[in-house]
């Protein structure tokens, strides 16, 4: 039996501001924006190419604090960095987190190249480069 992670609920203080950030600055696809009733709104967004979405909204159970350790994977960390900067996201410089084995034949930043940013509510994201998988 497969167990797939499909949705992560991300706590936000302003749904419209967060939706704009994830849709327009990060390029996530808006899957739906549903107002269930006066006190419940559910917005689901999915990163391009991802099988896992995030949900933001009102009236849904979330943590009272921010989430740390959310992680995206891209095949080109330089392009991802440039896209985030072009879209006005405050993003770290590219960091090397360790070294690949001496016999590694992939891109020099594969597995070890990272950038990080936070959304307007302080939820922390890392982005890792993986362009080839065994």
| Model confidence at 64: pLDDT above 90 | no
Q: What pTM was estimated for this model as a whole?
A: 0.87
Cα angle vertex 81, ends 93, 72, to 5°?
100
pLDDT on residue 1: 62
pLDDT digits (tens, 9 = 90+) for 10-32: 999 999 999 999 999 999 999 99
Interval 76-94 mean pLDDT: 97
44 φψ region: left (φ > 0), alpha (ψ -120 to 50), beta (else): beta
| Model confidence at 63: pLDDT above 80 | no
Q: What are 111's two structure tokens? A: 């597995």
Residues with Cβ within 8 Å of 35's Cβ and at least 6 positions away in sequence, in order, are 41
Which domains are present in the chain?
A: 1-63 (3.10.180.10), 66-134 (3.10.180.10)
Q: What is the mean pLDDT of the chain?
A: 93
Residues with Cβ within 8 Å of 101's Cβ and at least 6 positions away in sequence, in order, are none
């Amino acid at each position: 039996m497969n167990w797939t992670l499909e949705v992560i609920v991300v706590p936000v203080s302003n749904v419209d501001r967060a939706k704009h950030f994830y849709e327009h600055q990060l390029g996530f696809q808006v899957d739906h924006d549903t107002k269930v009733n006066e006190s419940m709104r559910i917005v689901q967004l999915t990163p391009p190419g991802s099988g896992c979405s995030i949900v933001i909204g009102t009236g849904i159970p979330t943590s009272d604090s921010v989430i740390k350790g959310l992680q995206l994977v891209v095949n080109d960390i330089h392009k991802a960095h440039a896209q985030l900067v072009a879209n006005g996201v405050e993003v770290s410089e590219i960091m090397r987190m360790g070294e690949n084995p001496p016999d590694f034949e992939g891109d020099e930043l594969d597995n070890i190249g990272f950038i990080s940013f936070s959304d307007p509510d302080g939820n922390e994201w890392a982005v890792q480069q993986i362009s080839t998988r065994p």
